[in-house]
Amino acid sequence: MPTKEELLNNLSTFDADYIVELINEGRLSFFEVISSKQLSPEISKEVERKLSERNQSVDDATSPVEKNSTSLPKAKGDLNSNLKSILKRMFSCKGRINRVQYLLSVVLFVGILLLSGILTILFVFIFAAIGADPKNSYVNFSLYCCTTLYLIVFFADIVFLYMSAIKRFHDTNRSGWLFALLLIPFLNIIADIYFFFILFFSRGDDYVNNYGPVPEPNYKHC
């Protein structure tokens, strides 16, 4: 039986059916197949399609009663794991997101930033309205905590948006290191315009590229 290294080295000679069989048998993982970068876009797309069809057939074969009976006892654990998974994906630069998903990331970024800013300003006005003494240590400490919290939310938002932009670049098979162009004077002006059109208008690859499979048409994998 050939070893895993031998299989990976000879992937380009295999057809899609045999590759799917290797993945189903556990001899290779989907990630290892993609990372080898030996498959043509057509074969990669065919492998992804066949795996999706297999997963769908398995889901269809499971009755609603079986699904409910297995999911109910783990509802709380699934919720916690899903929340951790969402947060991990939000602040990760791995994978891909499409144009709609990136637009939703921008909307979420602006919404959180506006909400936190409004709450901070409202907090300051409340202290001013009740006639709080600015020299009072409690007031100063409260304002300091409020400002610090806003800055934490602001920088977390920046990181989230930056990670989303990198994953959007990945969707077009471009490296996130292109953002280093923003650090070069004068060239960063051209880069801003170039990046804007890539992030909001450039169509992503409709096959498995160097950064992963095609993103799902929803916000699940942001």
Residues 32-53 pLDDT 10s = 777 777 777 788 888 888 877 7
Look up residue 203 and give its DSSP letter.
Answer: P
Least confident of 56-70, 93-107, 173-187: 56-70
Its pTM stands at 0.57
CA dihedral for 114, 118, 124, 128, sign (positive or negative) = positive
Residues 84-112 pLDDT 10s = 655 666 677 888 888 888 888 888 888 98
Query: How many Å separate Cα 103 from the centre of its chain?
Result: 13
Is the predicted pLDDT of residue 68 greater than 60, yes or no?
Answer: no
Least confident of 60-74, 127-141, 191-205: 60-74
Q: Kindly state the tokens that stand for 163.
A: 């990670």
Give the C-alpha separation, 61 to 63, whole Å.
6
Residues 126-161 pLDDT 10s = 766 665 555 666 666 777 777 888 888 888 888 888
Q: What are phi and psi of 212, to 5 degrees?
A: 130, 180
Share of the chain above pLDDT 90, in %: 0
